[in-house]
Amino acid sequence: MPAVDKLLLEEALQDSPQTRSLLSVFEEDAGTLTEYTNQLLQAMQRVYGAQNEMCLATQQLSKQLLAYEKQHFALGKGDEEVISTLHYFSKVVDELNVLHSELAKQLADTMILPIVQFREKDLTEVSTLKDLFGLASTEHDVSMAKYSRLPKRKENEKHKAEVAKEVANARRKQHLSSLQYYCALNALQYRKRVAMMEPMLGYTRGQINFFKKGAEMFSKRLDSFLTSVSDMVQSIQGELDAETEKMRISQQDLISVNESVYTPDSDVTSPAINRNLIQKAGYLNLRNKTGLVTTTWERLYFFTQGGNLMCQPRGAVAGGLIQDLDNCSVMAVDCEDRRYCFQITTPTGKTGITLQAESRKEYEEWICAINNISRQIYLTDNPEAAAIKLNQTALQAVTPITSFAKKHEAHHPSQNVKNTDNGKTTPSESAGIQDSTQLIALGTPIQFDIVLPATEFLDQNRGGRRANPFGESEDSSKDEEEDSLLQQMFIVRFLGSMAVQSDNTSEVIYEAMRQVLAARAIHNIFRMTESHLMVTSKNLRLIDPQTQVTRASFELATVTQFAAHQDNKRLIGFVVHLSETPGEESMSAYVFESNTEGEKICYAISLGKEIAEAQKDPEALAQLMKSVPFTNDGKFVLLNDQSEEDGATHEEGEESEA
């Protein structure tokens, strides 16, 4: 090692300028060393702090690995293997944490402590001696200045001796402080080299011991474990790569579709409509009333579940019931300036919800699906086949073919009824199966709206009496109702009417049903006018459920044929025979869809005819009254279960529309 520069102690007493110049060099070196030592200590403290943080971090890491088992993941399939692996890793981290703690303690003892002691002892000592040397030097200069101002006269010998003594003391003090200061500066040149190397020696040894213990503890024991974990990670990564490639290909296929997929109502001219749906899902706009005349529309996700229509807002966990579809009706409606709107009506005739679809295809499929569900075909063993069979009636050709009822003759014997001359309804024994051309003429037009809306007949000022378009006053209608022994209310929807050529057999009604349903399907007509069908012993009246205005009235004597569909029990039809002018007669078949079974309406019409006929003979009327139960007001009770249901429905309808 090269020689170290040092201050000569022999020159301390003389305190020459050369000595002072060399002293300033040593002092500058000591100042630089002090500044560097402070910076070095900060760096070492940062290392020590990081090591302490590593201990705390590994402790937290170990706890967090164990906490994975307690997490409630929504998708936790296959986590058992991960949990066991993380448990083992937690033990490894705990063992490593012990080594990190030992390393932190060793760094504190062998790295931080020596450098702190060097700064607090050696550097502080040099700084203190420098201050003492400066004070002694200043005191010596003051005493020498005082001594130099002594006069030449001899009469002040005593004062001169005191000043000389003071100079001697100051010089001795300066000499002593300079010797101590010089020794400390000389020793500092050796101590600084030791102080720089000793902490790093402790740091290096601590790290080596840490790695040695870690290697001894884990190298053999963890090799197989780490290999298995690595294989598992690579396997998962391989599955991820394969799945990523599949998703990339699928994404390209989905993006490469026709632009019409993104365009709403792109196939408005000829959409491919599935009319056999028994379940449907998608976004619809729901109309909400915000005032007397103001409404808002909200876009929600709707789906069918069994016989229920469910609604689920975006972001909701589950959907809620918004409408029971069993025995309900659905029809297209006009809503302000919006397209593709349809309305669902409850079995009681109360207006339900109004919805808007985004395209013609969605609009028609929703109507078909709700219509299928309302018939409860989802409860059958094979609902898809039942839906196809149900809609097959409407999809049959309109061209003349074998009568609609001919297909079902083997399974459903004809129950034709004919109004005879004496007014009684008897089975038609001689009626055979006729060709459709003998029942309904080719090219017969079909009327899909029975009359104009009832509101057309209201007074413009809404203050006058309701006028009936058929020439009947409201009061006369009420009088007829009060005089009639039979009053039965049914909720029906008008499907269509057409002229027929015969009323000898009920097959004309079946043929009319087939052609009306087929025409609706071909022309995509879903709108239906809902009415209350009042059956009395005098007439059949169609009443508007909102205004209670009579839309149409048919004398019971003119209803010559009536029947319900054999398969779809909710379809009901009747033939009206009118004499327009002498020698000219017209026959028209009217087809309705009812909320109840059509057989009950047929029974009510049949009973009305019997009552009308029995009123001509008091004895026959009395006999009939004995066989049929009455209500409290003297009206006939048709079917106990149905009469109660319809009576409640009628009352509810009147209250809701009041």
Least confident of 8-17, 261-270, 362-371: 261-270
Handedness of CA 471, 477, 480, 481 (dihedral sign): positive
- pLDDT band of residue 62 (cuts 50, 70, 90) is very high
Query: Hey, how many other C-beta atoms are within 10 angstroms of the C-beta on 265?
Result: 17
Rounded to two decimals, the pTM is 0.47
Q: What is the pLDDT of residue 583?
A: 64
Distance CA 174, CA 15 (A): 9
Q: What is the pLDDT of residue 627?
A: 66
> Average model confidence (pLDDT) for the chain?
79
Query: What are the tens digits of pLDDT across the range 225-261?
Result: 888 888 889 998 999 999 999 999 988 888 887 777 7
Q: What is the pLDDT of residue 408?
A: 41
Most confident of 110-124, 268-282, 515-529: 110-124
Q: Could you give the angle at the alpha carbon of 372 between the alpha carbons of 347 and 350, nearest 5°?
A: 20
Structure tokens at 572: 């009901």
Task: Flag whether pLDDT at 632 surpasses 80.
Answer: no
Average pLDDT value for residue range 407-431: 39
Q: What is the pLDDT of residue 28?
A: 93
Q: What is the pLDDT of residue 42?
A: 95
Per cent of the chain over pLDDT 90 is 29
Q: What is the pLDDT of residue 654?
A: 36
Query: What are the tens digits of pLDDT across the range 580-631?
Result: 666 677 888 999 998 888 899 999 998 888 888 877 776 666 666 666 655 5
Q: Name the more confident of 261 and 183.
A: 183
Q: What is the pLDDT of residue 442?
A: 65
Q: Which residues of 385-417 are buried (b: 16+ CB within 10 A; e: fewer)?
A: ebbeebbebbeeebebeebbbbeeeeeeebebb
In the chain, % helix, strand, coil (3-state, to 5) comes to 55, 20, 30
Q: Name the more confident of 342 and 583.
A: 342
Q: Name the more confident of 432 and 395.
A: 395
Look at the block and give the residue holding tokens 């420098």.
130
Look at the block and give the residue holding tokens 């003297």.
634
Average pLDDT value for residue range 38-46: 94
Distance CA 13, CA 19 (A): 10
Task: Flag whether pLDDT at 440 surpasses 70.
Answer: yes
Distance CA 510, CA 518 (A): 12
Q: Which helix (H) or strand (E) holds 276?
A: none
Average pLDDT value for residue range 200-216: 90
Least confident of 66-80, 464-478, 624-638: 464-478
Q: What is the pLDDT of residue 247?
A: 92
Task: Flag whether pLDDT at 438 surpasses 90.
Answer: no
Structure tokens at 53: 């943080």
Query: Is the separation of the CB atoms in 600 and 639 below 8 Å?
Result: yes
Instruction: From 348, 386, 393, 352, select the one nearest 518 (Cα to Cα).
Output: 393
Query: Is the separation of the CB atoms in 356 and 287 below 8 Å?
Result: yes
Average pLDDT value for residue range 6-15: 86
Query: What are the tens digits of pLDDT across the range 89-128?
Result: 999 899 899 999 999 999 999 999 999 999 999 999 999 9
Most confident of 7-16, 303-312, 563-572: 303-312
Q: What is the pLDDT of residue 72?
A: 83
Query: Hey, how many other C-beta atoms are within 10 angstroms of the C-beta on 270?
Result: 8
